[in-house]
Amino acid sequence: MRQAALLFTLILLAVAARAMAPRAACFDGKDDSCMRPRAVRSFVAALDGNRRHLAKIVRSAVMDLAVLPADHLTTLAAGHYRGKPVLLAARGKSLLWLDFLHHRWVVLVTLPAPIREIHPSPDGAPAAMLLTGGAGTPVPTDGALWWATWGGKCTMARVTPVKDYFRPWQFWWSRVGNERRFAVATYKKTHFAPFPHNCMFLFAWKGGKAEARWLGSRLSRPYVDAAHADMRGDGRYRMVAVEQTKEGGRALSVYHPIGFGYQGEWRTEAIPGLERVANYGKIVLCFGHAAGGKPCAWRLLPVKDGYRLVAFAKAPPAPEALVGVDLTHLAGWWNGAWHIITLPIE
């Protein structure tokens, strides 16, 4: 009975964690991933309750700078404003930017529903894709996608190809060659699976307009979490998915893009403890819990004939607490302190 209760608790934690948005950000990079050479200074911020912690990364070390109030903020992201890198945040229905000079948050735009995720434009433009929605099970209710810009006058527009009944609950930027794309995790019925389930939809994005490229279903196995990253540096964003096996376990699959959709490239059998996957620029990490509830994590590395998983000696607690600093380090705030992690390679 005790073991069953523990398992149920872990499942609830996994579901709740999936709905959380990033709570750390690197905000002086040239793009959305903030992957800079290690010699370049980077600033990182993290949320801890109603406080915002600020630090500077210098030669792979963390230098704590300040702790400031951050009442009711739910997520952070790195963006641009007036030609300079800035820290963005969501507070309820409002998108904010941090005015460092006056130590205050300034409202950019206000949407009709609470903001769950902020995804700044990958080209460094003063714009972002915003995912809104309310609390719900198994995915958020009233999900919607919005394109917000603030180069001059602040504007926002609904991304209408992502319909209300799609119930979107996660978003990722993607690319194939010269075509910018985005992927959306949805929850709906499809022709070949006439019951609500997790679906992965893919759209082209050009000039502020979205065009459907692939309205997929459950992939090769029902999936519960995913990430999209240019893992091989060839301009083709792979999709990495945590999927359910027939026996009730969770396994990993990698798909590469083929024109309108994806094709399977690599897959595993069930991996004990696996729960989630997340990307930090080109870096892909998997998270979960070992027996007894101890956190575990792996790095997914591309190799010549596929991919391999390399375990962390000491796993970070959750994807939301981390942000990429460069191609070999992550930073994050947990247990009352800053941490910097050197990524495992063997």
Query: Would you give per-residue pLDDT tens digits along the chain (346 residues)?
Result: 333 333 333 333 333 334 457 889 987 644 434 444 443 458 899 999 888 898 888 776 788 888 888 889 999 999 988 888 889 999 999 999 988 888 889 999 999 999 999 999 999 899 999 999 988 888 888 899 999 999 888 899 999 999 999 999 999 999 988 899 999 999 998 887 888 999 999 999 999 999 999 887 667 899 999 999 999 999 899 999 999 999 999 999 999 988 778 889 999 999 999 999 999 999 999 999 998 889 999 999 999 989 999 999 999 988 999 999 888 889 999 988 999 999 998 7
Q: Terminal CA-to-CA distance of the chain, rounded, Å? A: 39
Distance CA 126, CA 104 (A): 19
What is the rounded CA–CA span in Å between residue 275 and residue 298? 11
Side chain identity at residue 200, one-letter code: M
Contact 111, 133 (CB under 8 A): no
- Give how far Cα 198 sits from Cα of 14, 21, 77, 244, Å: 16, 18, 26, 11
Domain spans of the chain, in order of start: 25-159
